[in-house]
Structure 1
Amino acid sequence: MVELAIIGSDMQEVIGCAIAFHLLSSGRIPLWAGVLITIIDTFVFLFLDKYGLRKLEAFFALLIGIMAITFGYEYVTVSPDQGQLLKGMFVPYCEGCGSVQLSQAVGIVGAVIMPHNIYLHSALVKSREVDRSKRKEVREANKYFFIESTIALFLSFLINVFVVAVFAEAFYGRTNQEVYSVCNETGSPYSQMFPMNNETLEVNLYIGGVVLGCFFGPAALYIWAVGILAAGQSSTMTGTYSGQFVMEGFLNLRWSRFARVLLTRSIAIAPTLLVAIFQDVQHLTGMNDFLNVLQSMQLPFALIPILTFTSLPSLMNEFANGLVFKIGGGVVILIVCVINMYFVVVFVTELNSVWLYVLAAFLCMAYLAFVGYLVWLCLIALGVSCLDPTSKRENDTTILIEQRPESDS
């Protein structure tokens, strides 16, 4: 399930980069060519990987900085209503929303908290040299890991707020006729994209950049495209590293990073390339919304094991989760599952096919059964750990043995 989330994330990176190249070249690079160009990402990633994890992290921080600056620029340029922004952030409501709006709302959850990135943050502790036999050093390391993860997630949240607020303020309620008139007056080459009618404008990553260029100048369009490109590049690296850790931890497969990137990129490029060749950017954007929802659907398969492992005294000793964290984590997982199921029910009720009803019902039952099975296994693990008084002492010995210097003996 986590590998599916990683492949879905890789497909989003391919879509985003293809749209970015199309915008930056003023349409000279077609979408299918932009998809093929993303193959170069593999070689860029492998080139940086040779210089060590620290250099790669520095480059990743640079990409996040570019995203924050570019999308922040769009946010300042559009100047959304701050009061309404705070209201929407803390008061959940969506008047007159259909399945499309709900799918985007559910997708935001998966976009901000990508399931495979939870494993990535956990696995990065292996790259830090910490003397795990000394409780003080472990406690100090936990504090800085918490700070590091909090900053990373906050920046991700902030960037998503910038994007959603820009779309809401700049595009909500606009008609095709209005956008066509503005683009035509500014001499935009994209004015013919918008039919001259009073229907509400449908916005996506591509059209969003075009409309920003019409209303706020060409600089807004190109800055938007650079931000999308930076987001795509950062997604490549996080997906590759988290996939490596997942394969090693779950399946004991130690593939080279080249093989790892090649596999996921090949799976991601094939369907995306077909859509780019035979369809248009609207279908690419629809695929992107679906992939965001897929990320949200995969969240329980990351949250449940993480909550279980960090609650096991046999693994965590004195650093195991307390009752508050266990209950809080369980409530979060339950909320995510309920949101996912609610979206599926709303989406299915708008369909008019009995076969789709049956298929959706079957998939929902299978999904809930899988989540329930995972919860049951985790509860058993927690119960065994609490009932075994020797597990903690055995784990203490194991930690000390693992920290001994390597020698021939």
Structure 2
Amino acid sequence: MPHNLFLHPALVGTRRIKRGAGVRQASIREANLYTTIESAVALLFSFIINATALIVFADIYSMNRGNTAIGTMVEEHLPGLIEAAELLRGAFGNIGPLLPWLCLFISRSISLVPTILIGVLATSYLDQLDEWLNVLQSLALPLALIPTLKLAQSHVVMTSDFATSKYWRAFGWMTAAAIIALIVYLLLPLVFMLATRGVLSACLAYASFTLYLFFVGVLALDNTD
């Protein structure tokens, strides 16, 4: 989630920090520690839920791929978002369907009503909406990740006491490069698919993809502190 790269670090600003001489730095470090724990716990639950759903879906898809009759693939309905609750029930038991609901209700109560309306009124389009949402979030991820890394390593913004060390800086940029490479790899089939829909569509697809890569490159190479 690109927005979480900004929201989770911003939690530090909500904590009361002692600003007296000689205690401010220790107070900020304490705020960073508890914010890290808070974010890690929240992300751990999200990771478990999403990983479980992904593994169960992949297992069902794999079994469906292997189900053949006279050398011909048997086309069966693959599960989508509508069936997600039942799949989680099979993995976690009766508490499974409640885990996503509680997570959404607690952490995303503001968006709960629009989510329910979309779920009720656009049932047949949920999987397509989810796919395009993932595409848009993957496009936005480098635009949030790169500035976050730059701000974290900036001695002007973070001061020399809290700027990331060279080792964490190297780890962060290597991780970012791997993530961006995966995003490009996953976007290429979409670009090629759009390119098959005519000359105009091909020009727009390739031009947009090139412009996007150029913008990400400029953002990463910009040395402005």
2:138 and 2:183 in contact (8 A); partners too = yes
1:86-136 deviation per Cα after TM superposition (whole angstroms, max 9, x unaligned): xxxxxxxxxxxxxxxxxxxxxxxxxxxx11112111111122111245222
Greater displacement, 350-359 / 338-347: 350-359
Counterpart of 2:79, as a letter, is V
CA offsets 1:209-235 (integer angstroms, 9 cap, x no match): 46778xx6xx96x75543443343345
Q: In 2, are the aligned partners of 1:174 and 1:200 still within 8 Å (CA)?
A: yes
In the TM superposition, 1:141-160 aligns within 5 A as 141-160=31-50
Q: Distance in 1 between matches of 2:79 and 2:170?
A: 40
Please state if 1:373 is matched with 2:218: yes
CA distance in 2, matches of 1:273, 1:153: 24
Counterpart AA for 1:153: L
Check conservation: 2:8, 2:39, Cα contact below 8 A: yes
The partner residue of 1:168 within 58, 69, 79 is 58
Supply the AA of the counterpart residue of 1:290. Answer: W
What is the TM-score with the length of structure 2 in the denominator?
Answer: 0.76
The Cα shift of 1:291 comes to 0.6
Matched, 1:292 2:134: yes
Residue deviations 1:338-372 (CA, integer Å, cap 9, x gap): 21221121223345223332222122122223223
Matched, 1:233 2:105: yes
Q: Deviations over 1:162-202 (max 9, x none)?
A: 22223334564249x9xxxxxxxxxxxxxxxxxxx931332
- Are positions 1:337 and 2:149 aligned together? no
* Contact 2:146-2:219 at 8 Å conserved across structures: yes
335 and 199 in structure 1: CA distance in 2 versus 1, 3 angstrom threshold:
same
> How many Å apart are 1:206 and its aligned residue?
0.9
- Residue 192 of structure 2 corresponds to residue 302 of structure 1: no
* Residues 304-358 of structure 1: CA deviation (Å, up to 9, x unaligned): 1111112111222211111112222222222222212211212233452233322
Structure index of larger Rg: 1
Give 1:353's aligned residue: 197
If asked which structure has higher relative contact order (CA below 8 Å, sep 6+), I would say 1
TM-score, normalised to structure 1, is: 0.45
Percent identity, please: 30
Q: Match of 2:206, as an amino acid?
A: A
Contact 1:171 1:201 in 2 (8 A): no
Q: How does 1:41-56 map to 2 (within 5 A)?
A: none
**Structure 1 residue aligned with 2:76:** 200
Question: 1:124 corresponds to which residue?
Answer: 11
The one-letter amino acid of 2:16's match is E
Once residues 275 and 361 of structure 1 are traced to their aligned partners in structure 2, the CA distance between those partners, rounded to angstroms, is: 34
Question: Which whole-Å deviations, capped at 9, do the CAs of 1:211-267 have from their partners, x for residues lacking one?
Answer: 778xx6xx96x7554344334334525xx6xxxxxxxxxxxxxxxxxxxx7xxx87x
State the one-letter code of the partner of 1:357: A
* Contiguous gaps of at least 5 residues in structure 1: 1-113, 178-196, 241-260, 382-409
Unaligned runs of 5+ in 2: 68-72
Contact 1:115 1:295 in 2 (8 A): yes
Aligned residues: 211
C-alpha separation in 2, matches of 1:145 and 1:156:
17
C-alpha contact (below 8 Å) 1:348/1:356 kept by paired residues? no
Q: Is the contact made by 1:173 and 1:200 (CA closer than 8 Å) also made in structure 2?
A: no
Identify if the C-alpha distance between structure 1 residues 236 and 301 changes in structure 2 by more than 3 Å, giving closer, same or farther: same
Q: CA RMSD in A?
A: 3.3
- Pick closer, same or farther for the CA change 1:211–1:122 going to 2, 3 Å: closer
